[in-house]
Amino acid sequence: MKFKLATWNINSVRLRIDSLAKFAADQTPDVIALQEIKCANEHFPLKAINEIGYEHVAYHGQKSYHGVAILSKIPLETVGQHDFNSSNDTRHLAVKLKTGSRSKHPLILHNFYIPAGGDIPDREKNIKFGQKLDYLTNLTHWFEDDSNNHSDNMIMVGDFNIAPLETDVWSHKQLLKVVSHTPIEVEHLNKLQATKNWHDIMRTMKPEPEPLYTWWSYRAKDWKASNRGRRLDHIWTTPKLAKKAKSMEVITEMRSWEKASDHAPVIANFEL
């Protein structure tokens, strides 16, 4: 079966519900993973999302900040909502997708909003940076434990808030001491990637040295002209699924839409 997956830091699902509807109509993903939904569960716009065409929905939100959701045209079952820093932040949601795969293991989709880490890349001076590194460490230990993650059919998506490669940022030299591209963050992300030999589908489909960005700051007067982007959003798969990825696209045009998120959605197409 053909399977079209999107991931998008929507930066408030209620504020951008019209953009979500247009995106869904234009791109027709089977599954959309959202980050930073910024609403408590009781205020999640479930009816509007059902009307967009997504009957199967899982969400894990909190008032004003953070929050993740998975919208699906395929039946799903929630299998996890883990708090990796014991902070009560809603940053993770995992579901089992009923794709009809012949594998003995179901398709598990993990959706993450990893902490941004503040502005100063020093855990002694900036508690948020320490929390980000601790989150990544705890997440890495969790994936290393096979009792938690025994499926060979896993996809991990979301806003990881790290641009690991030199061509994932507009200037490697200038951003080496900027949170999201520091060597210690990249080191932590690489350790996480090694846990399951995760494959970076975006870079499989668009290899270096080609630049690849998904986020552009609101601070730029003209984001397109300056193009000071970073690749903060990711799609990873376990090795078996990596072979089934067929294409990938960043929907850059959406960064120019009215009331745009500072992130552009990413789409990957699979042949399962």
User: Which value, in Å, is the radius of gyration of the alpha carbons in the chain?
Assistant: 17
* Residues with pLDDT less than 70, the chain: 100-104
Could you tell me the strand order of the sheet in which 233-237 lies? 76-80, 92-97, 107-113, 154-159, 233-237, 199-200
Looking at the structure, give the CATH architecture of the domain made up of residues 2-271.
Answer: 4-Layer Sandwich (3.60)
Q: What is the pLDDT of residues 41-67, one digit of tens each?
A: 999 999 999 999 999 999 999 999 999
Q: What is the pLDDT of residues 203-213, one digit of tens each?
A: 999 999 999 99
Question: How many Cα neighbours within 13 Å face the side chain of 135?
Answer: 27
pTM (2 decimals)?
0.97
Question: Burial of 127 by CB count in 10 Å (0-12 exposed, 13-18 middle, 19+ buried)?
Answer: exposed
